[in-house]
Structure 1
Amino acid sequence: MNTCRALAFDVLREFSRAENPELKDILDDALRESELSSGDRRLAAELVYGTVRWRRRLDRIIKECVSHRFSVKPAARELLRMGIHQLMIMDRVPPHAAIYETVELAKRHRAAPGFVNAVLRRIQRDGDPVRYPSPRKNPIAHLALYYSLPNWIVGRWVERNGPEAAAEMCNAANAPPGMTLRVNTMRTERDAVATRLEQAGATAVTTTYSPDALRVGRMPPLTEADVFREGLCVVQDESSQLVTHLLDPQPGETVLDLCAAPGGKTTHIAERMRDTGVIVACDIAAGGLARVRENAERLGLSCIDTRLHNGRHQLTEYRGIADRVLVDAPCSALGILRRHADARWGKEESAIAGLANEQLRLLDAAAGHVKPDGVLVYGVCTDTPEETVGTLTAFLDKHPSFRVEPASDFIPALSGDAQTSDGALSVTPHRHNMDGFYAARLRRHQ
C-alpha cells in the first residue's frame, strides 16, 4: 500500500465531512503526523489539492461512466475522483499504478473495489467520456466544465477578456503555484540565499519585478531548511511583495497595516524601514496576529506593534499622523485560486457587492489616519471591477484630496501590462506568473 495515497484519501474524506473545512489545515495536520519522505509528501499534497481543484470535471466523468440507477457511495466517489485525477490530469503517475493503488484502497475501506476497478479500467481504455459544450457556441459552459470552475467566475472572465484570454486564465487557475521566497534584507542578500539553496540541492532563480524575491524548486520542507530557521527568508508570493514596494516605507516612519495577518507584508515593511520607526499591525483575528508576532520574531524584527482591532474604526491616537497606511482588504480572492484549491467552491457572486462596501468602509477609516502628504495603499487579490476600480473610484469621489500615483514610479521593473491606465498595479497569474493582485497608491494632498 502506497501510504501517500492512503493519507490523501483520509484528508479528502475528512475535508468532505467537516463543517467550514480548511483544506490546507487538514492536510498540514496529516503531514505533520506522518513519516512520509519528502517526495511522498509532495505527491500526497498534489493528490489532495488536484482532486479538490478538479472536482467538478471529475464528478462529470464519473456521472458519464455510471448508470443513473446506481448510487455511488461517498468513499467510492472520493476514490474514483482521486484515481481519475491520476489517470487524466496528472502526467507523472503510470496508469497501472493509479488503478492498482486506488483499488487496493477501495478493498481496505470496503468501498466497492470491483466497481472502482471497472470504472478506472474503462477510462484507461476509452479516455474521457464527457461530451463538453461547444467552445464556439457556449464558451462559458465549455471552459467552466473543462477547467472545473464555477460558471459565474468563467462568465466574468469571458465577458471582460474574451474566450481565448479566459481560457488562459482558467488554465492558470489550475496550475499549482511554485514557491516564492522573500529574502530578509535586514540579515542577508538575495544572491547569498540563492547560493545556499542551490548548495542544499534546490533551484533558485530571481524574479522579474521584486528585487527581494527568489522562485525556488526542488525545495525540501521549508521548516527543515537552514535559511528559514535562521530567519533569512519567508514564503511570500512576488505580487504580495510588490505591494510593499508600492507603499515605499522609509526608516523611522509611522506606518499602519490595517488588515495585517498573517504578517507577510507587515514584516516586509519592517525590513524596508530597517526595523526603525513604528508599525501598527491591526487585525480582527487574534490567531492571525499571533502569526504576525511569530514571523517578526523569527525574522528578528522589533518595530511591530500588534493590535486586535477592526480597521473599519479609527485608532484615535494615530488620527492624521500616519506617514503611510496599508489596506490589504478582504476580497473575493479570485487572483489566488491556484493557491487555494478549495476556494473556488466556497464563493458566491452575490457576495461581491458586500465585499466592495466593506472595502470602502475600511478605506474611509484609513483615510483619517493619513497625514497631509502621506500615502495610502489599497490592495486586493482579485480582479473584479467592483472591488478594484469600482472601490477606488468610490473612495476618490468621497475623498478628493487623495490622488493616484503611478505604480511604475515605485516599481521600476513594472511592464506596461502590469499597470492600469490610471496607474494602479494589476498583475495576473496567466500574464505574470504570480498571484493576481490589484493595488493603488494614493497620496493625500493639502
Structure 2
Amino acid sequence: MGRRGSGGEVALDPVRRLALEALLRAEEQNSYVNLYLQTRLAESNLHPREKALVTEIANGVTRWRLYLDWVLSRFCKTPLDELPPIPRNILRIGAYQILFMGSVAAPVACNAAVELTKALSHPGMVALVNAVLRRVAENKDNIPLPDRDREPARFLSVKYSHPEWLVERWLKEWGWEETEALLRANNEPPPLVLRVNTLKVSVGEFLELLEERGVSAEPCKFAPDGVVVRGGDKGEALKLVRKGLAYAQDESAMIVTHILSPRPGEKILDDCAAPGGKTSHIGALMQNQGEILAMDVHEQRLKLVEKTCKRMGVTIVRLVPADGRSAWLFLSEKVDKVLVDVPCSGTGTLRRRADARWRKSPELIREMAGLQYELLRGVAPLVKVGGVIVYSTCSLEREEDEEVVRRFLERHPEFEPEETRQYLPRPIPDCEAEFGAIRLFPHRHGTDGAFIARLVKRAEGRVEE
C-alpha cells in the first residue's frame, strides 16, 4: 500500500515497486530476476525484512507465472498478452499475494496494486486492475483448472506452473505420481546447503561455529561433509563461506565428487571446472596431495576456479585453458581420473532459480546432448588404463544422461560402466539408473536432480576424430 508523504501525496510502496521493476526488466530485456535483484537490493536502503519481501514477490510471481496468468485470464476480459507490461505485471504481483501470501490481506494487495497502477500506468488501467484483483480475491478458493482426465499434461502444467512440453516429457518418462511429486518439489524453495571445507575444519567444528552464531543446521543425509541450514540468519552462515570454511553447494554436487573417489597422490582432470566448487572438493578429498588439472574453455572463468581454490586453501591445482572437446590435443600426460561435469539443460535444478523453467526447450536438450558427447569423447584418450571417468549432469532427461553414455560406450569399447552405488559414501535409496549409474530427484532425495555414471577404462582405445 502507498505511504502518505508530507504533502499528503501517496508515496509508492518501495517493495512492490522494486519487485515490479525486476519483473519488467526480465520481461523486456530477458534478464535474470535473481541476478538483477542482487544488484538492486545491495544498492537499496530497504530493511532486511523488506528485501526478503521483494525477493519473495519477484521470485514467486516468476515461478508461478503460468498459474497466475491462468487465474487472471478467468477474470480479465482483455487478453493478458494484449495488456501493457506494467499493468500486466502489477496484476501478477497482486494475484500472487492474494493466492500465495497469507501474511498479506487481500485488500492490502489490491490497494497497493491500484496505487502502483495510478502512478505508473494510464487511468484506464486503474479500474481494470482493481476489478480483476477483487474478483480473484472473491474466487480464490474456487479456481477451475483444465480437465485432469482429458488434458492431463495441461492440468499439471497449470496447477504447478511448469511448461506443458516438459510436463508431457516427464509424464511419458516417469508417470503421473512421480511427475506430480517432482513438479510439487520444484515449487518448494530449496534449503541452503554447505559443503564443509575439511582442509580447514571438521563438520562437527563447523556446526559448533554455526550454533555460536545463532544458526541451526544439521548434517546432510547422504554427503558426509555437507550440512543443511535450517534456521537463523543465513547471512551469518555465508560469512563462514567467505572465510573459506565452507562452500555453498547442493548435496547432489558433493555426491558427484565422492563417486569420483579422489585419492591423495593421484592426477585428476576436472573438465568444465568453473567456478571451482567440485575442483576444491576434489582437492579436499585428496588432502592437498597430488595434482588437479582444472580445464575450462573460458579463460576468464578459470579465474573463478583460481579464486575459489585460493579461498578454500587448495594448492594442487593447475589451470588449463582449453576446449574439453579436444582435451587430448592440449594435454600430453595421462591422468588417473576425469570428472566430466557437463553443461546441461539443468532440468534437475528448477527449484533453484525461479525463471529457469521458462528458459528451457526441447531444442536446448538436443543441443546439450551433442555437446556432452563431444566433451566425454574428448577426454577419453587421456585416461590411463584402469582409470576412471565420472560423467555427471544436473538434467533429468535421458537424451543428456543414459543416451550420451550409451553412445559413448558403443564407440569406445575400451570403457565399461561400473556400479556407481559402491562408491557412495552413504547408501541412497531408489536411485538406480541404466549402466550402473544413479539418478537423484528433488522429491525422492531432497537434492537437486542429477545423473552420475562411472566408466572405467579397460584397454587403450583409438582417438575418435
TM band (smaller chain): over 0.9
Per-residue Cα deviation, 1:111-136 (whole angstroms, up to 9, x for no partner): 63333222211111122675322212
Could you tell me how far apart the structure 2 residues matched to 1:22 and 1:288 are?
19
Q: Does 1:204 align with 2:214?
A: no
Could you tell me how far apart the structure 2 residues matched to 1:295 and 1:219 are?
26
- Structure-2 change in CA distance of 1:169 and 1:433 (3 Å): same
TM-score by length of 2: 0.90
Pick from 164, 184, 193: which aligns with 1:171? Answer: 184
Q: Does 1:98 align with 2:97?
A: no
Per-residue Cα deviation, 1:304-332 (whole angstroms, up to 9, x for no partner): 22233211012446346111111111112
- Structure-2 change in CA distance of 1:357 and 1:109 (3 Å): same
In 2, are the aligned partners of 1:319 and 1:368 still within 8 Å (CA)? no
In 1, are the aligned partners of 2:324 and 2:375 still within 8 Å (CA)? yes
- 3-state SS of 1:332 partner: coil
Partner of residue 279, structure 1: 292
Partner of residue 46, structure 1: 56
Alpha-carbon offset, residue 404 of structure 1: 1.7
Could you tell me how far apart the structure 2 residues matched to 1:30 and 1:336 are?
25
- Structure-2 change in CA distance of 1:302 and 1:103 (3 Å): farther
Q: Does 1:303 align with 2:313?
A: no
Gaps in structure 2 of 5+ consecutive residues? 3-12, 460-465
Could you tell me how far apart the structure 1 residues matched to 2:97 and 2:356 are?
21
Partner of residue 197, structure 2: 184
Could you tell me how far apart the structure 2 residues matched to 1:233 and 1:104 are?
45
- 3-state SS of 2:435 partner: coil
- 3-state SS of 1:336 partner: coil
Per-residue Cα deviation, 1:143-174 (whole angstroms, up to 9, x for no partner): 01111111111011111222122111111122
Per-residue Cα deviation, 1:204-259 (whole angstroms, up to 9, x for no partner): 01111000111113353548844223211110000011000000111122111111
AA at the equivalent of 1:16: E
Aligned CA-pair RMSD: 2.0
- Structure-2 change in CA distance of 1:307 and 1:69 (3 Å): closer
Alpha-carbon offset, residue 69 of structure 1: 7.3
AA at the equivalent of 1:46: E
In 1, are the aligned partners of 2:196 and 2:225 still within 8 Å (CA)? yes
- Structure-2 change in CA distance of 1:268 and 1:91 (3 Å): farther
Pick from 360, 365, 375: which aligns with 1:362? Answer: 375
In 1, are the aligned partners of 2:402 and 2:435 still within 8 Å (CA)? no
Alpha-carbon offset, residue 74 of structure 1: 0.9
Name which of structure 1's ranges 316-325 and 203-212 shifts more when overlaid on structure 2: 316-325
In 2, are the aligned partners of 1:180 and 1:216 still within 8 Å (CA)? yes
- Structure-2 change in CA distance of 1:276 and 1:3 (3 Å): farther
Name which of structure 1's ranges 31-40 and 227-236 shifts more when overlaid on structure 2: 31-40
Partner of residue 425, structure 1: 438
Name which of structure 1's ranges 221-230 and 188-197 shifts more when overlaid on structure 2: 221-230
What are the equivalent positions in structure 2 for 1:312-351 lying under 5 Å apart?
A: 312-316=325-329, 318-319=331-332, 321-351=334-364
- 3-state SS of 1:382 partner: coil
Partner of residue 7, structure 1: 18
Partner of residue 406, structure 1: 419
What are the equivalent positions in structure 2 for 1:131-170 lying under 5 Å apart?
A: 131-170=144-183
Q: Does 1:239 align with 2:252?
A: yes
- Structure-2 change in CA distance of 1:205 and 1:92 (3 Å): farther
In 1, are the aligned partners of 2:171 and 2:179 still within 8 Å (CA)? yes
Could you tell me how far apart the structure 2 residues matched to 1:92 and 1:206 are?
31
- Structure-2 change in CA distance of 1:104 and 1:192 (3 Å): farther
Larger radius of gyration: 2
Name which of structure 1's ranges 414-423 and 398-407 shifts more when overlaid on structure 2: 414-423
In 2, are the aligned partners of 1:132 and 1:142 still within 8 Å (CA)? yes
Could you tell me how far apart the structure 1 residues matched to 2:276 and 2:71 are?
41
Per-residue Cα deviation, 1:27-75 (whole angstroms, up to 9, x for no partner): 2111221233333322222211111111111112222211137942210
AA at the equivalent of 1:25: L
The size of the alignment, in residue pairs, is 445
Name which of structure 1's ranges 192-201 and 376-385 shifts more when overlaid on structure 2: 192-201
Partner of residue 28, structure 1: 38
In 1, are the aligned partners of 2:322 and 2:330 still within 8 Å (CA)? no
Could you tell me how far apart the structure 2 residues matched to 1:290 and 1:101 are?
45
- 3-state SS of 1:374 partner: strand
- Structure-2 change in CA distance of 1:334 and 1:228 (3 Å): same
- Structure-2 change in CA distance of 1:13 and 1:187 (3 Å): same
Name which of structure 1's ranges 95-104 and 211-220 shifts more when overlaid on structure 2: 95-104
Name which of structure 1's ranges 203-212 and 403-412 shifts more when overlaid on structure 2: 403-412
- 3-state SS of 2:430 partner: helix
Per-residue Cα deviation, 1:179-202 (whole angstroms, up to 9, x for no partner): 100100000011221222222222
Partner of residue 76, structure 1: 87
- Structure-2 change in CA distance of 1:394 and 1:421 (3 Å): closer
- 3-state SS of 2:26 partner: helix
AA at the equivalent of 1:29: T
Partner of residue 99, structure 2: 88
- Structure-2 change in CA distance of 1:27 and 1:100 (3 Å): same
TM-score by length of 1: 0.94
Partner of residue 9, structure 2: none
